[in-house]
Amino acid sequence: MKKTPVNEQERRQQIMNAFIVHVVEKGFHKASMADIAKTAELSVGQIYRYFAHKEDIIRAVVEQKTEEYLLMMEEFLEKKGWLARMFEPEHEQEFHTERILNMEIKAEANRSAALAKIQYDADHRLTEHAVKLVRQRYALDDETDIRARVQFLVALTDGLFHRRGFFAGPFDAASHQLFQHMLNQLFPDN
């Protein structure tokens, strides 16, 4: 028996999930409020009670994803094991969906100032958090140097994330070894 959502947060989550399904399947522009409502098993009127525009749904989705990325970033900066996780077969479907969603939002952000701002704020929050963690965790003290290292890490991660589809299967031993070496150069332990 299907659980009926009881509170506002659950309703909002239901709408966000339906939005993701349609953006991934058809692209940002073709994901209509009517489609989203149908998948969320709500009326369009009900959706507007929670989100006034599609943009507000995106904002909520981006903010939620940013919280997830912050946790992954913490985990990574602690153990440097994050990148390899992207290549574990059990995470393939999850990353596939994330990748499409991410690209759709970024592509649309090129044409919407409001969306660019949402994206920029999320990125800023992520990099500032990483800068703080690196400062605490590693033997680095020059502020501009720390920022350069964080930008390097974020660019590399973004690139790997988007290119995941081009890699055939999990990381091989040579890749593991190389990435570990490069990451040790980037974030030297005490």
Q: Which residues bind a copy of itself (CB under 8 A)?
A: 24-27, 29-30, 99-100, 103-104, 106-108, 110-111, 116, 120, 123, 142, 144-145, 147-149, 151-152, 154-160, 162-163, 165-167, 172-175, 177-179, 181-182, 185-186
Query: What is the crossing angle of helices 173-186 and 143-163, to 10°?
Result: 160
Nearer to a copy of itself, 68 or 143 (CB): 143
Q: How far apart are CA 179 and CA 121, in angstroms?
A: 29
Q: Report the nearest approach of a copy of itself to the CB of residue 158 (Å).
A: 4
Minimum CB–partner distance for residue 177 and a copy of itself (Å): 8
Q: Tell me whether residue 14 or residue 66 sits nearer to a copy of itself (CB atom).
A: 66
The C-alpha atoms of residue 45 and residue 120 are separated, in whole angstroms, by: 30
Shorter beta-carbon distance to a copy of itself: residue 28 or 51: 28
Residue type at 154? V
Task: Give the angle 25-29-32 at the CA atoms, nearest 5°.
Answer: 75
* CB of 129 closer than 8 Å to CB of 73: yes
What is the closest distance, in whole angstroms, from the C-beta atom of residue 94 to a copy of itself in the complex? 15
* CB nearer to a copy of itself: pick between 60 and 108: 108
Q: Smallest gap, in angstroms, from Cβ of residue 131 to a copy of itself?
A: 13
Task: Kindly report the number of other CB atoms within 10 A of residue 3's CB atom.
Answer: 6
User: Least distance (Å) from a copy of itself to the CB of residue 189?
Assistant: 16
DSSP one-letter string for 54-122: HHHHHHHHHHHHHHHHHHHHHHHHHHS-HHHHTTSGGGHHHHHHHHHHHHHHHHHHTT-HHHHHHHHHH
